[in-house]
Structure 1
Amino acid sequence: MKNNKNACVSGELRYRNNSAARWMAALASAAMAVAAGPAGAQLARKPSYYQQQNSKAAPEGAAAPSPARPTAPASLPMLRSRGDFDTLARVYDAGTPMQLAHVLFAVDRQARPVRTYYIDTPRYQLHVRFVRDTGLAPRAGKREIDRNYLVPDRRFLFGTLSWQQNIGSFTYEFWEGDRLTPALLRQADAQVKASFFAPVKFKTNSTLHERVATEAGIDFVSQEALIREQPYMPMNLGTATGRVRIVDEASGANALNALLPDDIAVLRQVPISLPPVAGVLTERPSTALSHVNLLAKGWGIPNAYVRDAAAVLREHAGQWVALKVAASGYHVRRLAPEEIAALPPRNVRAAAIGAVPGSARAARPDLNETRLLPLASLRARHSAQCGSKAANLGAVLAARIPSTTVPDGFCIPFAHYDRFMRTNGLAERIARMRQQPGFAGDPQIRQKALAQLRDQIVQWPVDAASAAAWRAAWQTQLGGGGVFVRSSSNSEDLPGFSGAGLYTTVPNVKTGDALELAVKRVWASVFNPEAWEARSAAGFGAESVLMGVFVQTAIDSANAGVMITRDPFDAGHPHVTYISAKRGIGIRVVEGQRVAEQVMYSSWSKAIQVLSRSAEETALQLDKDGGVKEVPVEAGRTVLTDELVLRLANAGAAVKRAFGGVDQDIEWATVGDRIVLLQARPYVERRR
């Protein structure tokens, strides 16, 4: 690739085939190939033509009409060569890292002998069209067709055969909701292998399929294994213009916090937090519920995992580029000098990143309430006194969702923060801080000034009456045991602004002195650099932000995680629940620095699909002396059983109903056989 101002990077990613490292040129021009939709990329499977046909509009990336080609037969009983496969194949995302060529097939179990049909897929596109149009089942209604997915004594086996370019192998698969049996799978395996020219493996699309394949003794490749081999994974689709900034591991937090709103950040690691930027490319896979991805969705910026991102984009470091993240791949184009000159001023560009227009305002606080409010008394309306996080948890408790619990706690309302800060002259200190030379324009100067202010806040004394009230509530209501001291500001968990990961939580506080210090640390986190930058980009004034604190009984969970009550990769799938989980306490799940176990459950297909498994050999647990500790765990053990996934999905649906049908981002844990609900916030997604 030449190093010049018009150089392009179009998803050029390294992969291995037959143990030889090769470079693949994924795109040859600036125009992106249309994509299959982010869910197809995330699930490493053929996009659903059925869903495309039944949506109001074709999704971005629906496969384009096939070009003119030689007349193909309606079907073939065998595929004797790659030429036969190509003749019948439909290709999604041609020329991209997500290219997928596939041929539909049907096994007619009623025929004597049993017969396999490899279908002209561009012509028929759906199995039902083939069996009706060719006269195999010309009058089959919906109920009769559905039987071929749901019952053992079906006439047809409807499947798909695909070329998986990332592993250099053919696979065959069935719809994730197909209620396969071991006998049916053995029959399908024998038919496909007897009529196909190359080695082919069964690809599982659900946990049921994995169990059936194991029982049938059929070797398989899992969906999760294929996803691990993907060189690219879109997390949030979109376009952006900005300057490429590569943040190496050795650069640390200072380099992260020095990022500007017009930077496109190329990250070697997935950070816990991030200031507002124009776009994000990470070199390590993340999850849909990592703090960084939730922030990217809230800001409406493109975000993707790109294998070897720093090496691929090194030639663009410091240069202005246009970035596009699509489901089929990403594209980076160097801007010409005249394009750079035409860019709007930085403050205008920064204003494009932030909350949904019109929602960038902190909730108006009620400073008349000075009492410590127990969780049982809180409802959604108490966000004016305690913040949405604490108020929403009270509403979840009041919903009395079966088989769930909410750990007890109490709210320290905004009035305590306001009194503490006014007593210590916060407004004057902020004014002087803003007047420091370079504060407005240099993020490193801002970092240093904000760190000094946080240190001062932690050192200021709390009035004796307030401190005594906190200790008394901790002792009498919560029994003086370990507690999590959590932020609940008026500038987070809002319908148009998530604020995920911006503020501090202090885990497992076990003494009265530590409680007082933890409250001040949460208060001081209003001035975390990532919080300051995110609020500035969203239009929040620093003086309008107040911090409530929620003190909550600590639980030593066996498993913990986060779930979203819809498909985070495709808004057109409201019937899907996405769940991310790890063993132990769930801090690592939302940090996103290590890949969690990820599954998706569809209440429509009843299928549980695995996107990734957690391979960690340690977990976080409560330390008897306070804080958390790392402990070894059984390697390879599955975190989420099918039974737990179903229970979590049902609990998530109940939480969603409690908030008027608004999709929720829910933190959960398990203790024994109980699901513990720890937080519920609106799921915020924005597209620019």
Structure 2
Amino acid sequence: MKNQKNACPTSVARSRNNSVTALCLVAAATLAAIPATAIAQLARKPSYYQQQNQPQPEGPAAQLVPRPSVPSSLPVLRGQGDFDQMARVYDAGTPMQLAHVLFAIDRQARPARMYYIDTPRYQLHVRFLRDTRLVPSTAKREIDRNYLVPDRRFLFGTLSWQQNIGTFTYEFWEGDRLTAALLRQADEQVKASFFAPVKFKTNSTLHERVAKEAGIDSVSQEALIREQPFLPMNLGTATGRVRIVDDESGINALLPDDIAVLRQVPISLPPVAGVLTERPSTALSHVNLLAKGWGIPNAYVRDAATVLKAHAGQWVALKVAASGYQVRLLTPEEIAALPPRAVRTASTGATPGSARAIKPDLRETRLLPLASLRARNNAQCGTKAANLGAMLAAHIPGTSVPDGFCVPFAHYDRFMRANGLAERIARMQQQPGFSSDPKIRQKALAQLRDEIVQWPVDAATAAAWRAAWQSQLGGGGVFVRSSSNSEDLPGFSGAGLYTTVPNVKTGDALEVAVKKVWASVFNPEAWEARSAAGFGAESVLMGVFVQTAIDSTNAGVMITRDPFDAGHPHVTYISAKRGIGIRVVEGQRVAEQVMYSSWSKAIQVLSRSAEETSLQLDKEGGVKEVPVEAGRNVLTDELVVRLANVGAAVKRTFNAVDQDIEWATVGDRIVLLQARPYVERRR
């Protein structure tokens, strides 16, 4: 029923209580499922209008389900038997089942009449209306009015059993332009004709406001999402050994063939075969972006460590699907047939040799100002810096890009050659255990980073940096950011791998900050991710972008399509927090998350930020944590729409390729801080 969009109930994940067997562990009490029409993270009813643009079934597939013993509709559901008779059930016969009944309220009848529809037979409101001759020849435009105008004849809704909160809810399509008067009428009709207590479920910020205005008790999709025991972040399958990680120290011991079960959401992660986390995060946390780039399964599972404790160290097959997750123990025969680790490691992300760093142009030694940069300058400065220049040149209305300049690859190359980096890397890689033991690698890489920061910079080069900082940027605070030739690529995002030094305020600190960014080429997570993706250590060079620091009011990231369902290109996903946006992508604290559809014009809230502090610039340099008003929404509807429009403009700037965009606000102005291709693989 993938194309029966307005028949679908809320897409909330449901808990399961499966038993554990020797060969197939199906996440007892934490497994959840949703229909194929949507993703559990969204807790939303798929769009009626999306269905209208999809191919419709013809011939036998288009026929209504024959149910001669069931009436086409009932005016009242007097008990569970009536509900069951009229309901369509998702995942019937399993602990995941979700039953729903479509209803239509004819406001033109006197008195208004309720129709609880035989949902398996009709599946769409419009089919019921036409088959029962209520509107035998009404044009689609007239049917659509019943979602969009106050003087409509019909109210079309869905009534469902919400297992996670143990109650019935009724709801309307997220794009329905409800009014308080319409909602009051619907609430009265539903409660007068249904046998059990029922709550209104809001599917958009408009619905939330209307419910408040009407004085109708409601449950939000945000509240339903909080009760979900499972959130699929990246779908896929993998084979690996279960490793339960209790704290940050265990992250560094992970191997590429591990299924990592994380008690906390880490800031970074080495390549692994799959990820299950005990804490929910956002679609744009570094861990989730890495998982998408590597094409590995990734999900939030409540109490994952407890559920999988008995299988720590065992070889399993993991599957993360929209309908839930499955962990199956491998048989001895399957374990014996596993390929060597080198081959398994190659399966994480791109095949070795397929990933290509940008070939650097080392002839350019000038410090290039932002205004001169275009996409073609990625060979001198990296894609991050080049894309900032392209966005500035696009003159997107209502936006700005903080000024800055690029320290080109040539400066990194000259510095490293002068200090014998190639020989140093060769000796490091020859150390016993370096290639096989991640702890030995991490220790060696940390030593190399420390040495790089201590190596002296040519006096003339350092003086040029200071001069550009003073003359172009006024000697104010700057963010010193990575812009390597191995990040922001179409097939490899490199999100979260390299270092940003915030709010640098002196010339001496600028010199150290540039060296710290250079040294971050050898961050352990960067080394492991590049190795898995096929980048040779000698092919990676680091450009640096020195950019004016802004003390943002809000900040966040957005994706110019639905990250949970590639079939929703009209959706923009936005994640936001107050203050400077460093924490938005760390993933350790859940950000405010919304989805905006340019199709339905609806704004759907996935989570609201409950933080009591934010990061702001410190006048002494760096950042500081300051208290903020708790409970206040970060994103207004007006800002969400503006951001979505800006995202669409950025996407057009980069040849209609979907973008992962870092943004901030300063007062009423939207500031663009980064744009990279949105990378997603599925194994």
User: What band does the TM-score fall into relative to the shorter chain?
Assistant: over 0.9
Say if 1:312 and 1:549 are closer, same or farther in 2 by CA, change over 3 A.
same
Structure 2: 5+ residue runs without aligned partners? 1-16, 58-62
Tell me how far apart the structure 2 counterparts of residues 399 and 282 of structure 1 sit (CA, whole Å).
40
Say if 1:443 and 1:181 are closer, same or farther in 2 by CA, change over 3 A.
same
Which piece of structure 1 moves more, 239-248 or 96-105? 96-105
Aligned residue runs from structure 1 range 525-544, under 5 A: 525-544=520-539
Quick check: 1:79–1:196 contact (8 Å CA) kept in 2? yes
State the partner residue of 2:182. Answer: 184
State the partner residue of 2:499. Answer: 504
- State the 1:3 CA deviation: 11
- State the 1:93 CA deviation: 3.5
State the partner residue of 1:392. Answer: 387
Aligned partner of residue 245 in structure 1, secondary structure = strand
- State the 1:530 CA deviation: 0.5
State the partner residue of 2:260. Answer: 265
State the partner residue of 1:139. Answer: 137
Which of residues 584, 587, 598 in structure 2 aligns to 1:603? 598
Which of residues 127, 136, 150 in structure 2 aligns to 1:152? 150
State the partner residue of 2:3. Answer: none
Letter in 2 for 1:552: Q
Number of equivalenced pairs? 663
Letter in 2 for 1:455: D
Aligned partner of residue 39 in structure 2, secondary structure = helix
State the partner residue of 1:380. Answer: 375
Identity across matched positions, percent: 85
Aligned residue runs from structure 1 range 397-546, under 5 A: 397-546=392-541
- State the 1:92 CA deviation: 2.0
Quick check: 2:18–2:27 contact (8 Å CA) kept in 1? no
Quick check: 2:576–2:635 contact (8 Å CA) kept in 1? yes
TM-score (norm 2): 0.94
Tell me how far apart the structure 2 counterparts of residues 271 and 38 of structure 1 sit (CA, whole Å).
31
Letter in 1 for 2:250: A
- State the 1:52 CA deviation: 6.2
Tell me how far apart the structure 2 counterparts of residues 243 and 70 of structure 1 sit (CA, whole Å).
53
Which piece of structure 1 moves more, 375-384 or 343-352? 343-352
Which of residues 3, 7, 10 in structure 1 aligns to 2:26? 10
Tell me how far apart the structure 2 counterparts of residues 97 and 499 of structure 1 sit (CA, whole Å).
39
State the partner residue of 1:44. Answer: 43
- State the 1:7 CA deviation: 3.8
Tell me how far apart the structure 1 counterparts of residues 55 and 131 of structure 2 sit (CA, whole Å).
25
- State the 1:5 CA deviation: 8.6
Letter in 2 for 1:11: A
State the partner residue of 2:625. Answer: 630
State the partner residue of 1:303. Answer: 298
Letter in 1 for 2:128: F
Tell me how far apart the structure 2 counterparts of residues 335 and 85 of structure 1 sit (CA, whole Å).
42
Which of residues 658, 661, 669 in structure 2 aligns to 1:663? 658
- State the 1:122 CA deviation: 1.1
State the partner residue of 2:5. Answer: none
Aligned partner of residue 477 in structure 1, secondary structure = helix
Quick check: 1:98–1:329 contact (8 Å CA) kept in 2? no
- State the 1:112 CA deviation: 1.4
State the partner residue of 2:14. Answer: none
Tell me how far apart the structure 1 counterparts of residues 244 and 95 of structure 2 sit (CA, whole Å).
22
Tell me how far apart the structure 2 counterparts of residues 187 and 73 of structure 1 sit (CA, whole Å).
25
State the partner residue of 1:109. Answer: 107
Aligned partner of residue 199 in structure 2, secondary structure = strand
Aligned partner of residue 208 in structure 1, secondary structure = helix
Which piece of structure 1 moves more, 98-107 or 571-580? 98-107
Aligned residue runs from structure 1 range 86-105, under 5 A: 86-94=84-92, 99-105=97-103
Quick check: 2:45–2:174 contact (8 Å CA) kept in 1? no
Letter in 2 for 1:221: V
Which digits, 9 at most, give the CA deviation of each residue in 1:520-557, with x for residues without a partner? Answer: 10000000000000000000000000000000000000
Quick check: 1:38–1:570 contact (8 Å CA) kept in 2? no
Tell me how far apart the structure 1 counterparts of residues 142 and 602 of structure 2 sit (CA, whole Å).
21
Which piece of structure 1 moves more, 185-194 or 323-332? 323-332
Aligned residue runs from structure 1 range 240-319, under 5 A: 240-249=238-247, 252=248, 254-319=249-314
State the partner residue of 1:326. Answer: 321
Which digits, 9 at most, give the CA deviation of each residue in 1:599-625, with x for residues without a partner? Answer: 010000000000000000000000111
- State the 1:141 CA deviation: 1.3
TM-score (norm 1): 0.93
- State the 1:91 CA deviation: 1.9
Are residues 1:558 and 2:550 paired?
Answer: no
State the partner residue of 1:75. Answer: 73
Tell me how far apart the structure 2 counterparts of residues 69 and 329 of structure 1 sit (CA, whole Å).
31
Aligned partner of residue 180 in structure 1, secondary structure = coil
Are residues 1:235 and 2:196 paired?
Answer: no
- State the 1:10 CA deviation: 1.5
State the partner residue of 1:21. Answer: none
State the partner residue of 2:205. Answer: 207
Tell me how far apart the structure 2 counterparts of residues 330 and 91 of structure 1 sit (CA, whole Å).
20
- State the 1:9 CA deviation: 2.4
Tell me how far apart the structure 2 counterparts of residues 291 and 38 of structure 1 sit (CA, whole Å).
27
Are residues 1:347 and 2:342 paired?
Answer: yes
Letter in 2 for 1:229: E
Which digits, 9 at most, give the CA deviation of each residue in 1:382-428, with x for residues without a partner? Answer: 00000000000000000001110100000000000001111111111
- State the 1:378 CA deviation: 0.2
Aligned partner of residue 649 in structure 1, secondary structure = helix
Which piece of structure 1 moves more, 636-645 or 340-349? 340-349
Tell me how far apart the structure 2 counterparts of residues 395 and 184 of structure 1 sit (CA, whole Å).
47
Tell me how far apart the structure 1 counterparts of residues 582 and 405 of structure 2 sit (CA, whole Å).
21
Which of residues 161, 164, 167 in structure 2 aligns to 1:166? 164
Quick check: 2:367–2:408 contact (8 Å CA) kept in 1? yes
Quick check: 1:377–1:394 contact (8 Å CA) kept in 2? yes
- State the 1:11 CA deviation: 3.1
State the partner residue of 1:612. Answer: 607
Aligned partner of residue 13 in structure 1, secondary structure = coil
Quick check: 2:352–2:532 contact (8 Å CA) kept in 1? no
Aligned partner of residue 473 in structure 2, secondary structure = coil
Say if 1:622 and 1:356 are closer, same or farther in 2 by CA, change over 3 A.
farther
Quick check: 1:356–1:686 contact (8 Å CA) kept in 2? no
State the partner residue of 2:642. Answer: 647
Tell me how far apart the structure 1 counterparts of residues 22 and 64 of structure 2 sit (CA, whole Å).
31
Quick check: 1:6–1:336 contact (8 Å CA) kept in 2? no
Which piece of structure 1 moves more, 641-650 or 353-362? 353-362
Say if 1:282 and 1:53 are closer, same or farther in 2 by CA, change over 3 A.
farther
Which digits, 9 at most, give the CA deviation of each residue in 1:446-475, with x for residues without a partner? Answer: 111111111111110111011101111111
Quick check: 1:66–1:90 contact (8 Å CA) kept in 2? no
Which digits, 9 at most, give the CA deviation of each residue in 1:595-651, with x for residues without a partner? Answer: 100001000000000000000000000011111110000000000000000110111
Letter in 2 for 1:431: A
Quick check: 2:37–2:46 contact (8 Å CA) kept in 1? no
Tell me how far apart the structure 1 counterparts of residues 109 and 190 of structure 2 sit (CA, whole Å).
16
Letter in 1 for 2:625: E
Tell me how far apart the structure 2 counterparts of residues 40 and 144 of structure 1 sit (CA, whole Å).
30
